[in-house]
């Protein structure tokens, strides 16, 4: 029996990357999935893949920046499958990039609308149907970029930090309803979001991002889907208000010592005493 047997899940950004992997994983574990995205073609492919594997899924075209469309998305889950147990607010973009003095108000607002306001809508409209279901699990994709600064990604980093604290405040309020609210902070994951706009794409970037953290491979969408599955399942029944870091060790520190010659050099060894004795 699957870990999500009998449950109904909404996944936003389900056409690609983390959302796609999570929708497939949820369905494989027995959940009925409402796959939401602006990318109709990609989302329909995911729905077809789930159906071909014997699972249940439908596509709902939704712009997560629109409150009425997010409300309609949640209503579709209840109409189609009779209840709501899991909402995964995952859709995203990188948004505004570049120096802070050149960042426009419009790009700032668009970034926050997709990354933060959409999460508010997803949480808000999940509350009533989850109360009716006797509880539920709301998951959002934040980022390790929300835990420290990100070079020239001012809006992204700030928006993801907001998702982490919105997760905490919602968790405090909704615990009494047995609604758990958590977010995932992925490290650098090999998805179209990261490949896009980089010369050479996936082939060029994956070897580089594979060296950035303790575990020397590029993060995969399935690494995040595994955490989403845990948070969605009853195994996480005492986990709420958490920002779960899944980053191959990126936030633990750099797996090399610049002081001893760079990325591929062996690090320091032996014993280093007081600096005045070392000459």
Ligand X SMILES: NC(=O)c1ccc[n+]([C@@H]2O[C@H](COP(=O)([O-])OP(=O)(O)OC[C@H]3O[C@@H](n4cnc5c(N)ncnc54)[C@H](O)[C@@H]3O)[C@@H](O)[C@H]2O)c1
**Which amino acids are annotated catalytic?**
156
Q: Which of 9, 11, 18, 46 binds ligand X (CB under 6 A)?
A: 18
According to the binding rule CB under 6 A, does residue 22 interact with ligand X? no
Stretch that binds ligand X, among 7-15, 26-34, 199-207, 263-271 (CB under 6 A): 7-15
Q: Which of 90, 111, 116, 133 binds ligand X (CB under 6 A)?
A: 90
According to the binding rule CB under 6 A, does residue 97 interact with ligand X? no
Return the number of the residue (197 or 274) whose C-beta is nearest ligand X. 197
Site for ligand X in 197-236 (CB under 6 A): none
Q: Which of 2, 3, 28, 38 binds ligand X (CB under 6 A)?
A: 38
Return the number of the residue (60 or 103) whose C-beta is nearest ligand X. 60
Site for ligand X in 110-149 (CB under 6 A): 114, 141, 143
Query: What is the DSSP track for the chain?
Result: --TTTT-EEEEETTTSHHHHHHHHHHHHTT-EEEEEES-HHHHHHHHHHHHHTT-EEEEEE--TT-HHHHHHHHHHHHHHHS---EEEE--------S-GGG--HHHHHHHHIIIIIHHHHHHHHHHHHHHHHT-EEEEEE--GGGTS--TT-HHHHHHHHHHHHHHHHHHHHHGGGTEEEEEEEE-SB-SHHHHTTSTTHHHHHHHHHTTSSSS-S-B-HHHHHHHHHHHHSGGGTT--S-EEEESTTGGG--SS-GGGTSTTS----S----HHHH-
Site for ligand X in 47-86 (CB under 6 A): 62-65
Q: How far is the CB of 12 from ligand X (least distance, A)?
A: 6
Residues at the site binding ligand X, with contacts judged by CB under 6 A:
12-13, 15-19, 37-39, 42, 62-65, 90-93, 114, 141, 143, 186, 188-189, 191-194
């Amino acid at each position: 029996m699957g870990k999500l047997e009998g449950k109904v899940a909404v996944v936003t950004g389900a056409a690609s990357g983390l959302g796609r992997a999570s929708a497939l994983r949820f369905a494989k574990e027995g959940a009925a999935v409402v796959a939401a995205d602006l990318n109709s073609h990609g989302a329909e492919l995911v729905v077809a893949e789930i159906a071909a594997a014997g699972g249940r899924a439908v596509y709902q075209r939704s712009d997560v920046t629109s409150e009425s469309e997010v409300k309609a998305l949640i209503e579709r889950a209840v109409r189609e499958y009779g209840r709501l147990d899991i909402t995964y607010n995952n859709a995203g973009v990188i948004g505004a990039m570049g120096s802070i003095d050149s960042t426009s108000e419009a790009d700032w607002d668009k970034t926050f609308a997709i990354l933060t306001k959409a999460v508010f809508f997803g949480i808000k409209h999940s509350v009533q149907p989850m109360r009716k279901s006797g509880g539920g699990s709301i998951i959002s994709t934040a980022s390790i970029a929300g835990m420290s600064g990100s070079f020239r990604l001012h809006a992204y980093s700030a928006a993801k930090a907001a998702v982490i604290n919105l997760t905490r405040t919602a968790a405090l309020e909704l615990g009494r309803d047995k609604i758990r609210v958590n977010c995932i902070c992925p490290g650098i994951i090999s998805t179209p979001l990261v490949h896009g706009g980089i010369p050479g794409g996936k082939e060029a970037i994956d070897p580089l991002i594979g060296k950035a953290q303790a575990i020397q491979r590029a993060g995969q969408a399935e690494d995040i889907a595994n955490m989403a599955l845990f948070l969605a399942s009853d195994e996480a029944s005492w986990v709420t208000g958490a920002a779960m870091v899944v980053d191959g060790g990126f936030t633990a520190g750099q797996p090399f010592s610049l002081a001893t010659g760079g990325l591929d050099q062996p690090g320091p060894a032996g014993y280093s005493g007081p600096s005045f004795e070392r000459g």
